[in-house]
Amino acid sequence: MSSNKVLDEQRQGEATMLDTIEKGAKKLYLESYGCQMNFSDSEIVASILSERGYATTRNAEEADLVLLNTCSIRDNAEQKVRNRLTHFNAAKRKKPDLMIGVLGCMAERLKSKLLEEEKLVDIVVGPDAYRDLPALIEEVSDGRKAVNVLLSREETYADISPVRLNSNGVTAFISIMRGCDNMCSFCVVPFTRGRERSRDPESIVHEARYLHQEGYREVTLLGQNVDSYRWNVSKKGDVIDPDKEVVNFAGLLEKVAQVAPDLRVRFSTSHPKDMTDEVLQTMARYENICKYIHLPVQSGNTDVLKRMNRGYSREWYLQRIDAIRRYMPDCAISTDVIAGFCGETDDEHADTLSLMEEVQYEFAYMFKYSERPKTLAERKYQDDVAEELKQRRLSEIIELQNKSSLRRNKAALGKTFEVLVEGLSKKSDEKLYGRNSQNAVMVFDRGDIEIGSYVMVKAVDCTSATLIGEVISKK
Ligand code: 5AD
Ligand code: SF4
């Protein structure tokens, strides 16, 4: 399996089983699928339910309530969840009191269909309705089925302190905004997660400060399109409350970077059409803002980008890459690529390969186009690239990326990086792993190094996915 595939599956589908928080309470078993935002939402759900006496468990068999936080981005993500629901329904036959609920994007997309037609679940809750979960659970206890898929223009869960699940105690996500207004033609997200809205910057800084006090050393600011974060200013640009500060993404990044010099700041996801020089300048100014940008390109061909409604051309994208390199020559860049979008010709696909060759990404998430119901592409274009051809194009993209990742890692050999230690290596208890500012995973001897500390590590060997290092000094 290629490294991309492993990471892709980690990100897009692998279930996460969560730790027990306290004993003796009702038991919640929660699995999360899809993007980091879903994992972050699960921590909000666990927080809401912990106030109602639910403790999370890793063991589904002892659960009173099973919740799946789901993803609709590609058809195979939904299929995985359906298989899990069938599995839990078999368990329910032996334990009729077991409640099963679907949260997240699939809940929003399929709404009561999951209850009525498919009879797979008791509870369906969309991404903006998690505060209603306790009431919905009550309804199910009274023998009814319960649905709330209302989307909101305001909900950001700003006041809820997430229960950190499956945490390494070192790195944490902070959700800074919700929804997406971009309407990329392939994407179901604007339909499942609703309109874009930003969270109060004070609550974000407060959460970062709290995490730092608790010993965390890295926060990742999350949003579908972080560059359109805005506070106290309307979409048209009018100031809402003249007595209060206006905050854009660069401003927010700076505020979080100022929380503590030993708190690293990352963010995801940037949009090429909105990423400003001001953000790049802020990144360059603060050592603790990691030098890593995830900048999804989707395609290297301007006509395809137009059909995708991405709002930029190949030239614009490459000019953004130049800007990143100008301000931060050491910045790593990763991307998302879709193979076989509607009407994609051989030449258009070749443009994607040539762009990747030109940029030399450190890392990429690569997908075959999967038509999603209701999206602009579904209504406007034919999904006309044959499956076999999509697969072949995807394989070419992956092969090229693996070469590029390996080349990038080889170029790092002999260099020394500051690494934040995140935990024990999966392969050996005698090794630790962490990441450098550029988000490359480094593995090195454990010695007496503490998890959560910073160490200087020299890269001495590599695969396309990992740098093997020698510890030079502790910090
Ligand atoms: N088919 C394939 N990939 C998709 N993505 C979003 N929608 C689709 C789709 N319908 C990819 C994009 C996006 C990433 C999160 O998922 O590359 O950036
Ligand atoms: Fe989907 Fe585009 Fe919004 Fe990303 S920016 S969530 S790809 S619509």
What average pLDDT does the chain have? Answer: 93
Residue 327: predicted pLDDT = 98
Q: What angle do CA 271, 252, 228 make, to 5 degrees?
A: 30
Q: Which tokens hold the place of 371?
A: 């038509």
- Counting from 1 in the atom list of ligand 2, the atom nearest the Cα of 180 is 3
Residue 235: predicted pLDDT = 84
Percent of the chain with pLDDT over 70: 95
CB of 259 within 8 A of CB of 213? no
What's the CA gap between 209 and 469, in Å, rounded?
A: 31
Q: How far is the CA of 332 from the centre of ligand 2 (A)?
A: 22
Q: For the residues 428-451, what does the mean pLDDT come to?
A: 96
Residue 464: pLDDT band (50, 70, 90) is confident
| 298 in contact with ligand 1, CB cutoff 6 A | yes
| 305 in contact with ligand 2, CB cutoff 6 A | no
Q: Which of 187, 269, 307, 317 is the best mutation target for the ligand 1 pocket, counting ligand atoms within 8 Å of the beta carbon and taking the most?
A: 187
Residue nearest atom 1 of ligand 2, based on CA coordinates: 187
Residue nearest atom 4 of ligand 2, based on CA coordinates: 224
Q: What is this structure's pTM?
A: 0.93
Ligand positioned closest to the Cα atom of 296: 1
- Counting from 1 in the atom list of ligand 2, the atom nearest the Cα of 298 is 7
Q: How far is the CA of 149 from the centre of ligand 2 (A)?
A: 20
Residue 17: predicted pLDDT = 42
Q: How far is the CA of 370 from the centre of ligand 1 (A)?
A: 8
| 190 in contact with ligand 2, CB cutoff 6 A | yes
Q: Would you say residue 1 has pLDDT above 90?
A: no
Which pLDDT tens digit goes with each residue over 298-312?
A: 999 999 999 999 999
Q: How far is the CA of 369 from the centre of ligand 1 (A)?
A: 7
Which pLDDT tens digit goes with each residue over 229-266?
A: 999 998 888 999 999 999 999 999 999 999 999 999 99
**Cα–Cα distances in Å, from 186 out to 5, 207, 356?**
21, 34, 21
Nearest to 75 by CA among 372, 319, 362, 323: 372
Residue 302: predicted pLDDT = 98
Q: Would you say residue 360 has pLDDT above 80?
A: yes
Ordered domains of the chain (ranges, CATH): 3-148 (3.40.50.2300), 167-290 (3.30.750.210), 292-411 (3.30.750.200), 416-474 (2.40.50.140)
Residue nearest atom 16 of ligand 1, based on CA coordinates: 73
> Distance from first CA to last CA of the chain, Å, rounded?
36
Residue 107: predicted pLDDT = 96
Which pLDDT tens digit goes with each residue over 147-205?
A: 999 999 999 999 999 999 989 999 999 999 999 999 999 999 999 999 999 999 999 99
Which pLDDT tens digit goes with each residue over 6-21?
A: 333 333 333 444 444 4
Nearest to 134 by CA among 53, 37, 64, 27: 53
| 272 in contact with ligand 2, CB cutoff 6 A | no
Q: Which tokens hold the place of 124?
A: 């369906």
What's the CA gap between 439 and 431, in Å, rounded?
A: 18
Residue nearest atom 14 of ligand 1, based on CA coordinates: 336
| 369 in contact with ligand 1, CB cutoff 6 A | yes
Which pLDDT tens digit goes with each residue over 64-116?
A: 999 999 999 999 999 999 999 999 999 999 999 999 999 999 999 999 888 88
Q: How far is the CA of 215 from the centre of ligand 2 (A)?
A: 33
Residue 24: predicted pLDDT = 53
| 101 in contact with ligand 2, CB cutoff 6 A | no
Residue 9: predicted pLDDT = 34
What's the CA gap between 462 and 408, in Å, rounded?
A: 10
What's the CA gap between 241 and 148, in Å, rounded?
A: 32
